[in-house]
Amino acid sequence: MPFSDAQRYMADQRIDGWLVYDFRNNNPIIARIVGKKLHLTRRVWWLLPQRGSPTILCSVIDESSFVAAGMGVSTYIGWADMQVKVSALLAGLGGRRVAMEYAPGGVLPTAGVVDAGTIEFVRSQGVEVVSSADVVQLYAAAWREKGLSGHRRASELTHGVMKDAWGFLGAELKKGPVQERAVQKFITGRFDALGLEYPDDPIVSVNANSGSPHYGPDEKHSSPIRPGDWVLIDLWARIPGDEHVYSDITWTGFCGSREKLPAEHLKVFNTVRDARSASVSEAQRAWKEGRQAEGWQLDEAARAVIIGAGYGQFIKHRTGHSLSPGALVHGIGMNLDNLETRDTRRMMPGTGFTVEPGVYTTAFGVRNEINVFVDPVSGPVVTSCVQDEPWCTG
């Protein structure tokens, strides 16, 4: 991937270089830079200056791995030689401000990969270390054109599968109780038929099970779904290929007619829906006003609605997670979070995320999940289907 966006941002933020440190593949950024995961056994340093081309410094033991990947490297033998050569790399920057995978105070674990001792060593070279969190977003979390088009196609297909799953559930309920697992297997069967890629099975949860955010049935554990029940379906899939981005959506619904939908279920659904909309509105408003929205602020916008409705005690997770190219559904960029962490990463152009607030009581849960892409010209746009009313099977 090109480094130009990251370098422009570094220049704007007065960052002289981006220093990526890895030990035995503990930093996922190295695999993104190389294009694949290498067998690395010793410490690796990769430096991208604000201007110019990057440099790799690795142990002579690991040199062959980089050469096989088509990359030129500088090597060291032993820790003393390594320290001398890292010092020379930093001295050659022409500046003293370096970004690393580091989170001040440990408030953002996903951005804080480098151990404290290594940070101390770099600082001992007279270098100021700042977080690379937003540099990483622009380099590794940004969607390219192929990723965006693939995501839009995946969103169309997952929307169809979601509707088909509810249709399947409604039809089967006319015959008798339906196992959560049966609906789950119906969804994966549709994914397979469409040629979609999914790393694990979707979530199908009924009544109290839906009050547990990550509950999911399997071959040994599955509950029956009956008329009058409440169901949550969370599914995710993508067009195959690590350049593509997942579509990740959640709907909830009632096994019965709209007239019989319990008032409390409808109230909670509407609260969660409004929380979702509040977060999206804050993102779009910040873009229009030229403000730098941060992940924690978009989380706060959603949670304020839920807390204001009296359901604050039933919030169990952040409002959303990053969507980015790569093998993971939960991407490497900004999360919508001021609950589990205080995510101060900025909403960067070209990146994406989910918005999925939830309320989870002991009797049932509601999550409403959509996907958003930050268009570099027009700002945050919803790229997935949107559920504004509970699904009712009739």
Q: Could you tell me the two tokens for 298? A: 């978009």
CA neighbours closer than 13 Å in the CB half-sphere of residue 383: 27
Q: Could you tell me the two tokens for 151? A: 């995501």
Q: Which helix (H) or strand (E) holds 354?
A: strand 352-355
pLDDT at 70: 83
Which of the listed CATH numbers 3.90.230.10, 3.90.25.10, 3.40.50.300, 3.60.21.10 matches domain 142-392?
3.90.230.10
Q: What is the number of other CB atoms lying within 10 angstroms of the CB of residue 156?
A: 13
Per-residue model confidence as pLDDT tens digits over 169-214: 999 999 999 999 999 999 999 999 999 999 999 999 999 999 999 8
pLDDT exceeds 90 at position 373? yes
Supply the pTM of this predicted model: 0.93
CATH code for the structural domain at 4-140: 3.40.350.10
In whole angstroms, what separates CA 161 from the centre of its chain?
22
Question: Is the distance from CB of 282 to CB of 297 less than 8 angstroms?
Answer: yes
191 phi/psi in degrees, rounded to 5: -55, -45
Question: Is the distance from CB of 207 to CB of 217 less than 8 angstroms?
Answer: no
CA neighbours closer than 13 Å in the CB half-sphere of residue 371: 31
pLDDT at 107: 87
Per-residue model confidence as pLDDT tens digits over 227-259: 999 999 999 999 999 999 999 999 999 999 999
Amino acid at 223: S
pLDDT at 2: 77
Q: Could you tell me the two tokens for 161? A: 């599968």
Expressed in angstroms, the distance from the first to the final Cα of the chain is: 49
CA 58 – CA 323 distance, rounded (Å): 31
Q: Could you tell me the two tokens for 197? A: 């890629």
CA 115 – CA 51 distance, rounded (Å): 27
What are the residue ranges of CATH 3.90.230.10 in the chain? 142-392
Least confident of 9-23, 59-73, 162-176, 191-205: 59-73
What are the residue ranges of CATH 3.40.350.10 in the chain? 4-140
Question: Is the distance from CB of 348 to CB of 141 less than 8 angstroms?
Answer: yes
Q: Where residue 69 falls among pLDDT bands split at 50, 70, 90?
A: confident
CA 345 – CA 28 distance, rounded (Å): 18
% of the chain surpassing 90 pLDDT: 91
Q: Could you tell me the two tokens for 347? A: 């909403």
20 phi/psi in degrees, rounded to 5: -100, 125
CA 147 – CA 243 distance, rounded (Å): 6
pLDDT at 61: 96
Q: Could you tell me the two tokens for 150? A: 């693939």
Nearest-5° angle of CA 119, CA 122, CA 123? 85
From 328, 376, 351, 348, select the one nearest 32 (Cα to Cα).
328
Question: Is the distance from CB of 142 to CB of 5 less than 8 angstroms?
Answer: yes
Query: How far is residue 91 from each of residues 11, 96, 126, 251, measured CA to CA in Å?
Result: 18, 8, 9, 54
pLDDT at 276: 98
pLDDT at 146: 95
Q: Could you tell me the two tokens for 19? A: 């220093």
Q: Where residue 1 falls among pLDDT bands split at 50, 70, 90?
A: low
Can you point out the beta strands (E) in 136-229? 178-179, 203-206, 224-225
Question: Is the distance from CB of 16 to CB of 94 less than 8 angstroms?
Answer: yes
DSSP state letter for 202: P
Q: What is the mean pLDDT of the chain?
A: 96
pLDDT exceeds 90 at position 309? yes
